[in-house]
Amino acid sequence: MKKPELLAPAGNLEKLKIAVLYGADAVYLGGQNYGLRAFTDNFTFEEMQAGVDFAHKYNVKVYVTVNIFFHNDDLNGLIPHLKKIAEIGADGIIVSDPGIVMLARKEVPELELHLSTQANTTNWASACFWYEQGVKRIILARELSLQEIKEIREKTPRDLMLEVFIHGAMCISYSGRCLLSNYMAYRDSNRGECAHPCRWKYYLMEEQRPGEYLPVFEDDRGTYILNSKDLCMIHKIPEMVETGVDSFKIEGRMKSVHYVASVIKAYREAIDTYFKAPQNYKFNPQWLRDIEKSSHREFTTGFYFGKPTGLDQIYGNSSYIREYDFVGLVVDYKEDKKLALVEQRNRFCVGEVIEFFGPKGESFSQRIEKLWDENGNEIDCAPHPQQRVMIKTEFPVSPYCILRRKRDN
């Protein structure tokens, strides 16, 4: 069996570095234009170059999104954009528009073409069609079962790579083709500006009773009727591997550094553990516990084992479950003094119990006995955003180690 690539989201340069260090085989990111996440930080070309250089140093690949549904005006400036991505040295681009497939093959043939899930490829015949157009990888529609994916793998050329989502937010609309945002907020989700109306609370109004709002109930649990649970397949790694796909994709370019680190490390360990001894593989519940420490919704297996039911929706609210706060990131570590230089991300103080969670090894928790500012002055709290403080640690840590605190601590 070929070990699938673990593909991580990179919403900005810091998240890219975290994804690489915590175990990703590849990352995907968006430039300032043409991607479906217009409201994340995204990358300037200078940041993209730095990201590609950093990733390639660790033999990690970089794919760039160019996957909006293009209108005529969007084509202005596209070719220079594609040529710059190729010049930077990215490994491929993610596209959804057949016109862009045509233009990219002509103008930047050195870039691999990956077909976005937005193109909703749901059968082997479509996959073969795109292969003949020069597409090297297809990101399959999320609406497929594991059995359907196996059949697509069996009936397509082996050098056509297949990619599937394994974790992250689910879209209520077929392969993300949603018009709700256009209609209700004048923001085109297919051009990167989704307002996420599927997460809103809804009421009914009868035509002859204007202004008289009737609540929409689903088993008396609430009115968030379009609000899907998040996909999580950490406990189904063997079943996912057996489909024969080439890449496992994590959703979340708008998610936090904490999310990227927690999810990538858990799936990295699960995949590696399986491939060490498939016959003796056992799921480690700690992987799921670590994932749950980052912000998340309730989990579902999506379409993989059959069509979702009412149990795959969240009706009571649209908020995330947040049991831990991301409070800091290690910048440097002085081993001789056991002192970590930490950049604050949320306020924390002396006396609190903090968990240190790093790219390698086991996490550990300790009570903060003392804090110092960068000048060596003892302080009680780190209240300022991105304030740098020093903490004595019980065990060695490394740069990009995450500090998190349980909320009821």
* Angstrom distance (rounded) from CA 21 to CA 10: 12
Topology alike, domains 5-173+227-302 and 324-406: no
Task: List all residues 6 or more positions away from 90 whose beta carbon is below 8 Å from its beta carbon.
Answer: 48, 52, 62, 63, 64, 111
Backbone angles phi, psi at 393, to 5 degrees: -105, 150
* Angstrom distance (rounded) from CA 80 to CA 48: 15
Alpha helices for 215-332 (secondary structure H): 237-241, 257-276, 285-292
**pLDDT (0 to 100) of residue 196:** 64
CA distances (Å), origin 174, targets 142, 193, 203, 298: 8, 17, 23, 21
Q: Which of 185, 404, 248, 218 is nearest to 315 (CA)?
A: 218
Alpha helices for 144-256 (secondary structure H): 146-154, 180-185, 237-241
**pLDDT (0 to 100) of residue 365:** 96
Name residues of the chain where pLDDT drops below 70: 35-40, 171-207, 213-226, 310-319, 409
**pLDDT (0 to 100) of residue 212:** 72
Q: Which amino acid is at 370?
A: K
* Angstrom distance (rounded) from CA 166 to CA 236: 9
The H-or-E segment that residue 166 falls in is strand 161-168
- Listed by start position, the domains of the chain span 5-173+227-302, 324-406
CA distances (Å), origin 347, targets 120, 147, 277: 43, 48, 43
Q: Which two tokens stand for residue 24?
A: 């990703």
CA distances (Å), origin 125, targets 128, 129, 142, 148, 153: 5, 6, 17, 12, 11
**pLDDT (0 to 100) of residue 172:** 64
* Angstrom distance (rounded) from CA 230 to CA 302: 8
Cα separation of the two ends of the chain: 44
Beta-bridge mates of residue 365: 355
Determine the CATH number of domain 324-406: 2.40.30.10
**pLDDT (0 to 100) of residue 242:** 96
Write down the pTM of the prediction.
0.86
CATH architecture of 5-173+227-302: Alpha-Beta Barrel (3.20)
CB 196 within 8 Å of CB 182: no
